[in-house]
Homo-oligomer: A and B are copies of this chain.
Amino acid sequence: MIRVGIVGGTGYTGVELLRLLVLHPDVDVSVVTSRSDAGERVDGLYPSLRGLCDVVFSLPELDALAECDVVFFATPNGTAMLMAEQLLARNVKVIDLSADFRIQDVKEWSKWYGMEHACPDVIGLAVYGLPEANREAIKQANLIACPGCYPTAVQLGFFPLIENNLIDLSHLIADVKSGVSGAGRSAQVSALMSETGESFKAYAVNGHRHLPEITQGLMLVAKQQVGLTFVPHLTPMIRGIHATLYGRITGDANMVQALFEQRYRDELFVDVLPQGLHPDTRNVRGSNKCQIAVHQPQGSDTLVVLSVIDNLVKGAAGQAVQNMNLMEGLDEKAGLEAVALYP
């Protein structure tokens, strides 16, 4: 059994990791830390886990975490970078669900995240944990930077188009809609049900932190600069991301459906829908799947890709577990087989 620690177990990505890991056949969750709830039972805070988890929240202490094989950071940005180096030095594998190691350019990182990086030398060791792009590197990695939720949905949707030189890379558009759990489990007026229920809005149009992450990922594939307009929106539901992607055709789009199917044929968690269908976030709710469709409306020169995930699963905790499975040589889908909760 793989001994797992979770740092920051009281947020939504933390409890989602627990939801997946308490039933994972190869894992023993031995440490779950929380500064605010240390000493309390995990299932006291999360009654959904009653009967499945006997762990008590502890303070985040290096020695206890160093007993683990793998430590997940489900912490706010700026925390994992304070402990990752020490854990790696003690041969613990680290999977960071926050943004600390996602951006290879540390100046760019500091600009968007508003702080100095605590261990810039370690960034280069981090592997970006998107298995559909980096599977072999992930298998060898000791430090994983798990992708953000928006970047997961957007990159998986754009990859086949970029890899096949099908679209104008200078004017990509990603219009993306997220459920409110993406805002996290912290007390803030803007995330109250009275504020977010029955309403829809865009936010951060002038620049969201996931923009440089997406751009970095697309450029790696394109091997050239890309110009992306990324507009995130908040939609009145708890879980789910729907990315609507637009690209102007520059290549031969006749085979676009086949290219998508071929690109993801062997992927366990990316499912290309038959031509003409539209994915619906409910069909991936609670599952680690990404469902994708591609359309060319009215035969115009603009392609539209629809890509949906559950932001807490494929967009966070599920993808983190998928990375762990790869790093530990387990079945890639271990612990990740649950069917989406429809309705």
Contact = CB atoms under 8 A, between A and B. Distances in A.
A205 B12 contact: no
Interface string A304-331: 1010100010000000000000000000
Contacts of A192: 180, 183, 185, 187-188, 191-193
A222 interface: no
A122 interface: no
Number of this chain's copies in the complex: 4
A205 B339 contact: no
A171 interface: yes
A49 interface: yes
A202 B244 contact: yes
A40 to B, nearest CB: 13
B297 A205 contact: yes
A236 B233 contact: no
The size bracket of the interface on A is: 35 or more
A79 interface: no
A339 B238 contact: no
A240 B202 CA distance: 13
Nearest to A341: B286
B282 A248 contact: no
A278 interface: yes
Contacts of A308: 200-201
A280 B194 contact: no
B236 A193 contact: yes
Interface string A270-294: 0101001111111111110001000
Interface of A: 12, 15, 19, 22-23, 46-52, 171, 173, 175, 177, 179-181, 183, 185-189, 191-203, 205-207, 211, 227, 229-231, 233, 235-240, 242, 244, 246, 248, 271, 273, 276-287, 291, 295, 297-298, 300, 302, 304, 306, 308, 312, 337-343
